[in-house]
Amino acid sequence: MASSQDKNLPATQRRIQQARDDGQVAHSQHLMHLAILGGGAVVLFELLPGILDRLLSIMRSQLTFDALSLSQAHSMTEQAQTISSAALKATLPVPLMVSALAVFSSLLVGGFLITLKPLGPNFSKINPLSGLGRIFSKDKLVEVSFLSLIVTALCIVAGSYIYHNTHRLAVMSLQHDAASLLMAGKWLMQGLTLMLLVIVVIAAIDTPLQFLLHRQRLKMSMQELKEEFKESEGNPEIKSKRRARQREIAQQNSVRQVEKADFVLTNPTHYSVAICYDDAKMGAPRVIAKGADLIALKIRQAAQQHHIPLLESPRLARALFAHTEIDEEIPATLYMAVAQVLAYVYQLKASLTGLGPKPGACPVPDVPEELDPHSPSFQRVTLA
């Protein structure tokens, strides 16, 4: 297993998506704290006057009793239920809006994500060694540092604010009740605003830092990168076997196309290649069936069944088998060799219909030695 020191390569998009599916996304707690505290304070200050007026109106209307209501115990219970229900409806917008702000702050950093994987059992969390590793990890160090910074900053701001407003506290103690409460409310509001500014600065630093730490946690080693490539692209050996099997199936299915061929070239036993050419539709002759051993035998049997000319040309058959896939035009390097055989086939068909003399033996096509897979100088190159 690769050590953390070996993980110095950026995470791939597949690794990032897998981590996201597992519920691992960048998450800034301080941004959520800012949304809850700051947004909650704004919502509360905006809605508080209306809420207080509504609560006072409810209390005035419901806490009025007459002799009849006092004589009936159940009426007091009903009034208490009415007051509780009305108070809940009046104050409900505050927690709902604060919750919405908390969710929005989470979506702002990590995006929309629904996954149940974090709820699954993870026995590594009860392992003492794993717990010690998490305690002394880089993430915990950053978290503790930030918490210490926040506490220090808040203490400095709060202490400085109280120290510079000592005279206001003395003035408030000398005011009558209404004025004193008003001054106290303004004083607390200003202090809360200053402390929220500290959290704003912390959140502005912490949010991009969490993105950076998240990418650091997802970094990969060279071995992990290779394993991911194998998983996504497939093991080369398995892919090779799969391609060989697909090629074999294609060759078996191509036997049915032999009846459309103009001629079939043979090795004469190990290879068979069926060639078709239509000058009105094709730019060059096309291989419509090929095979080796048993498939080659089936191609020859199909050719005999449909009276397709069978021609022995070992080197050309081997070259076409090695360098051409089924339903693919022959390589340009073999044009001349195939043209010699095709001309002979046309002469043979003309003689069979009485339109021409019987040709002699099939010519030996000129095939470059390096195209023959049985030649020592064989080279598999792209020839099309």
Q: Provide the pLDDT for residue 77.
A: 73
Evaluate whether 237 touches 268 at the Cβ level (below 8 Å). Answer: no
Q: Provide the pLDDT for residue 255.
A: 80
Domains and CATH numbers, the chain: 4-231 (no CATH), 245-371 (3.40.1690.10)
Pairing between β-strand 263-266 and β-strand 310-312 as defined by DSSP bridges? parallel
Q: What is the DSSP string of 140-169?
A: HHHHHHHHHHHHHHHHHHHHHHHHHTHHHH
Contacts made by residues 107-114, CB under 8 angstroms, sequence distance 24+? 108/31, 109/25, 109/26, 109/27, 109/28, 109/31, 109/207, 109/210, 109/211, 110/25, 110/26, 110/27, 111/25, 113/20, 113/23, 113/25
Q: What tokens appear for 285 in the block?
A: 């002759």
Q: Which residues contact 117 (CB under 8 A, 6 or more apart)?
A: 21, 22, 23
The CA distance from 238 to 303, in Å, is 34
Amino acid at 51: I
Evaluate whether 255 touches 291 at the Cβ level (below 8 Å). Answer: yes
Q: Provide the pLDDT for residue 384.
A: 41
The CA distance from 86 to 92, in Å, is 10
| Full strand arrangement of the beta sheet holding 328-329 | 310-312, 263-266, 271-276, 286-292, 328-329
Gyration radius (Cα) of the chain, Å: 43
> What stretch of H or E contains 264?
strand 263-266
Query: The pTM is what?
Result: 0.40
Evaluate whether 365 touches 345 at the Cβ level (below 8 Å). Answer: no
pLDDT truncated to tens, each residue of the chain (384 aa)? 444 456 777 777 777 777 766 666 666 776 776 777 777 777 777 777 777 777 777 777 766 666 666 666 666 677 777 778 877 877 777 778 777 777 776 666 656 556 555 555 655 556 666 656 666 666 677 777 877 887 888 788 888 888 887 777 677 666 666 666 667 767 777 777 787 787 778 777 777 777 787 777 778 777 777 777 766 665 566 666 767 776 677 666 778 888 888 889 888 788 899 999 888 888 888 888 888 888 888 888 888 988 888 888 888 888 888 888 888 888 888 888 888 888 888 888 888 777 777 777 778 888 888 887 777 766 654 444
- Using one digit for the tens of pLDDT, what is the confidence trace for 86-141? 778 777 777 787 777 777 766 666 565 565 555 556 555 566 666 566 666 666 77
Q: What is the DSSP string of 277-305?
A: --TTT-SS-EEEEEEETHHHHHHHHHHHH
Q: Provide the pLDDT for residue 210.
A: 75
Distances (CA, A) of 162 to 157, 165, 166, 191, 369: 9, 5, 6, 8, 97
